[in-house]
Chains A and B, each alone.
Chain A
Amino acid sequence: MAAKTLTIDGQLVSAEENQTLLEAARDAQIPIPTLCHLDGVMDVGACRMCLVEIVGTPKLLPACVTKVQEGLEVRTNSERLQRYRRLLLELLFAERNHVCAVCVSNGHCELQDLATQHGMDHVRYAYQAPNLGVDLSHRLYGLDHNRCVLCTRCVRVCWYIEGAGTLNLAGRGTGSMIITDLNQPWADSDTCTACGKCVQACPTGALFYKGATVAEMERDRQKLEYIVTAREKKQWNV
């Protein structure tokens, strides 16, 4: 496989040709913030947290779905990017109800961590405070739409790792919602295998184990990558 050489934040980086900018940067120990990215499943570029600047290109591009090219000059942490990332976070917090203090994921939440890392000490936009409801019908898991950031990590693990295809996205724009099967209560889903991968994948407190109380939801996301790697490398074949 041909190697590509590019510059990220002034550092010369060598990458494999099919790698994304995100992968190349992480291999070179250059951090780029992400929210919808999850190791082990395909990227969709939904959250825009990983936007980077490429010299000579007017648009900002999501590092998770942009392939490396020879000679690219990439900036991952300019003042403009920092400003936009903070703005994105503020919009996410304003859109639904993210009240960390009383959330099952308090202290173990990727959205909360990003807000802390980006110095988001207040939100400049009006909180929408929607009343989106909570689905606790499932025997084991709960889904609180109020805490969902629509990253679709749960949808992707459900389709591409478990292969169940239970979770999906309905609606458009801010009206989008995660649904189960044909937008029915989770307990009525014929396809759900109750595998729990969606719960492991969720970056916030939207998906949780039923009975979890405040700050109790800790997840083991590496398990998802482990499953994918083991499958791809045929480690389970005897």
Chain B
Amino acid sequence: MNTPRSSPAPIRVLIDPVTRIEGHAKISIFLDDAGNVADAKFHVVEFRGFEKFCEGRPMWEMPSLTPRVCGICPVSHLLASAKACDAILAVRIPAAAEKLRRLMNLAQIVQSHALSFFHLSAPDFLLGWDRPAAERNLFGLAHADPELARGGIRLRQFGQEIIAALGGRKIHPAWAVPGGVREPLTPAARQPLEAKLPEALAIAQAALQRFREVLTQHRREIQVFGNFPSLFLGLSRPDGLWEHYDGTLRFVDAGGNVLADDLDPARYQDVIAEAVEPGSYLKSPYYKPLGYPDGLYRVGPLARLNVCRRMGSPLADAELDRFRRFGHGAVTSSFLYHYARLIEILASLERIRELLGDPELTSPRLRADAGINKLEGVGASEAPRGTLFHHYHVDEQGLLQRVNLIIATGQNNLAMNRTVAQIARHYIQGASQRIPEPLLNRVEAGIRAYDPCLSCSTHAAGQMPLQLTLFAPSGAVLDQVASS
């Protein structure tokens, strides 16, 4: 930590870089004259321009071009992109193809959530917030609790193996295509997956039990890590069960009341607008009817569990009941994203079990063939981090004219800002010239609860540790720390 600089006036705290997230970011905390937190900003400092350089490319390349935005959740982009292309072809994809796409998305949710929970976040709350950063990581976790760490790795591996069994590779499979998918699941590939499922389920259940135990020691985190009323957005289906691939848009408020329902994802622009804030390449989408920034909404595991009526599978539903005790209507603490993530892993595994038993998965009828039948298409699906939109305009030949990607992490941008401010207010109270020791860890963990993927959301390159800077009202930098 730097030596504090003398300043008569208040302060801005800059955390740069933020660690154990996917991407590169920094955080600024602005103090008022009394030394209390006036505001906080989460800046995403990288820019990639995916939307621009896709222009002019043939539409058929998009399901493989857009996943290159990220190696963590390429499947989400693959599916949203393929769905946008389906819309342009104006086809309904074969039933087997939809089931196979669903299977891959569930596998993606399992592997990405396992990475977020076990590899990135669990070291914070299982090892202790103030444990040295050199120990507060997956290796520290493997030392303290080898079984849990190994389980996390195995769970992620299971998800990756399903993706590889379908798409031929774990990362960036070119498998979902406009009109369907390329390959079925072969009976030979299905059998080993079925054999590994019981272990995966046992790991998820053990992790849930462990998390419930530690939750009792984290009442303060539940209170201050992004605990505020907001809207929640997710895909929903007519029966109200947890949805991850298709369906219509539903917004619920902090009381769990449905604010808007049955919205066609293709008309997302009627309800979602994007604001651009100076200082960040990450845009800030908001719910249009409530305006900016009141239309703040959250997406991702917490939102999906708030939006759905039930999970639709017995183990996950039993867990959902316990989860809902943390809220009145909706669960509003972002710390509980972790809990929601574990429940989604469980639900995904249960649905994978169901799907693997479906004989249609080996069907050879997988791809609808068509030309350009519409000049515009929107594909929406639930990525691990939240609702993902791909919106394409093409010319008569199928060449991309305009691309708009609305990424889950972007939609959580306003909520992440508010979370940082809430945590900072709790830890900086009165006439501080320095960044208090516990703040950096807590602020980072607060951001990590959202499992942000900045490479996706800025459509960014490079490494991504977090930098935190404390600013005086005059704009003078009072203190600056970087996590390593």
**CB distance B64 to A214 under 8 Å?**
yes
**CB distance B399 to A213 under 8 Å?**
no
**A216 contact set on B, CB distance < 8 A:** 174, 182
Question: In the complex, A136→B182 CA distance in Å?
Answer: 22
- State whether A104 and B61 are in contact (beta carbons under 8 Å apart), knowing that A134-B56, A213-B174, A213-B178 are contacts in the complex: yes
**CB distance B177 to A213 under 8 Å?**
yes
Check B57 for interface membership: any CB of A closer than 8 A.
Answer: yes
* Contact digits for A170-208, partner B, Cβ 8 Å, 1 yes 0 no: 000000000000000000000000000000000000000
Check B397 for interface membership: any CB of A closer than 8 A.
Answer: yes
Question: In the complex, A210→B56 CA distance in Å?
Answer: 15
Check B60 for interface membership: any CB of A closer than 8 A.
Answer: yes
- State whether A211 and B68 are in contact (beta carbons under 8 Å apart), knowing that A104-B61, A142-B58 are contacts in the complex: no
Question: In the complex, A102→B61 CA distance in Å?
Answer: 7
- State whether A213 and B61 are in contact (beta carbons under 8 Å apart), knowing that A101-B68, A101-B172, A133-B56 are contacts in the complex: yes
**CB distance B56 to A136 under 8 Å?**
no
Check B90 for interface membership: any CB of A closer than 8 A.
Answer: no
Check B127 for interface membership: any CB of A closer than 8 A.
Answer: no
- State whether A134 and B68 are in contact (beta carbons under 8 Å apart), knowing that A214-B174, A215-B174 are contacts in the complex: no
Interface residue count on the B side (C-beta < 8 Å): 18
Within 8 A of B (CB), among A107-163: 131, 133-134, 136-137, 142, 144
Minimal Cβ-Cβ distance residue in B for A214: B64
- State whether A131 and B397 are in contact (beta carbons under 8 Å apart), knowing that A102-B65, A214-B174, A215-B174 are contacts in the complex: no
> What is the predominant secondary structure among interface residues of chain A facing chain B?
loop
Check B386 for interface membership: any CB of A closer than 8 A.
Answer: no
**CB distance B68 to A136 under 8 Å?**
no
Check A212 for interface membership: any CB of B closer than 8 A.
Answer: yes
Minimal Cβ-Cβ distance residue in B for A131: B56
| Contact of A102 (CB < 8 Å), options: B68, B182, B397 | B68
**B65 contact set on A, CB distance < 8 A:** 102, 214
**CB distance A134 to B174 under 8 Å?**
no
Question: In the complex, A136→B397 CA distance in Å?
Answer: 6
Question: In the complex, A137→B68 CA distance in Å?
Answer: 27
B81 to A: closest C-beta gap in Å: 11
**CB distance A213 to B60 under 8 Å?**
yes
**CB distance A211 to B369 under 8 Å?**
yes
- State whether A136 and B58 are in contact (beta carbons under 8 Å apart), knowing that A102-B65, A213-B64, A214-B64 are contacts in the complex: yes
Check B35 for interface membership: any CB of A closer than 8 A.
Answer: no
Max chain A Cβ within 10 angstroms of own Cβ: one of B61, B68, B369, B399: B61
Question: In the complex, A213→B65 CA distance in Å?
Answer: 10
A37 to B: closest C-beta gap in Å: 29
Check B398 for interface membership: any CB of A closer than 8 A.
Answer: yes
Within 8 A of A (CB), among B367-401: 369, 397-399
Check B123 for interface membership: any CB of A closer than 8 A.
Answer: no
Check B63 for interface membership: any CB of A closer than 8 A.
Answer: yes
**A215 contact set on B, CB distance < 8 A:** 64, 174
**CB distance B64 to A134 under 8 Å?**
no
B231 to A: closest C-beta gap in Å: 36
**CB distance B63 to A137 under 8 Å?**
no
* Contact digits for A93-112, partner B, Cβ 8 Å, 1 yes 0 no: 00000000110101000000
**CB distance B64 to A137 under 8 Å?**
no
Max chain B Cβ within 10 angstroms of own Cβ: one of A104, A211, A213, A216: A213
A138 to B: closest C-beta gap in Å: 9
**B172 contact set on A, CB distance < 8 A:** 101
**B369 contact set on A, CB distance < 8 A:** 211
Binding site for A on B (CB under 8 A): 56-58, 60-61, 63-65, 68, 172, 174, 177-178, 182, 369, 397-399
8 smallest beta-carbon distances between A and B, as pairs: A214-B64, A136-B397, A214-B174, A213-B177, A102-B65, A213-B60, A102-B64, A215-B174
Q: List 13 A-B contacts (CB under 8 A).
A: A101-B68, A102-B64, A131-B56, A134-B56, A136-B399, A142-B58, A213-B63, A213-B177, A213-B178, A214-B61, A214-B65, A215-B64, A216-B174
Binding site for B on A (CB under 8 A): 101-102, 104, 106, 131, 133-134, 136-137, 142, 144, 210-216
6 additional A-B pairs beyond A102-B64, A213-B178, beta carbons within 8 Å, are: A101-B68, A104-B61, A134-B56, A210-B398, A212-B60, A213-B182
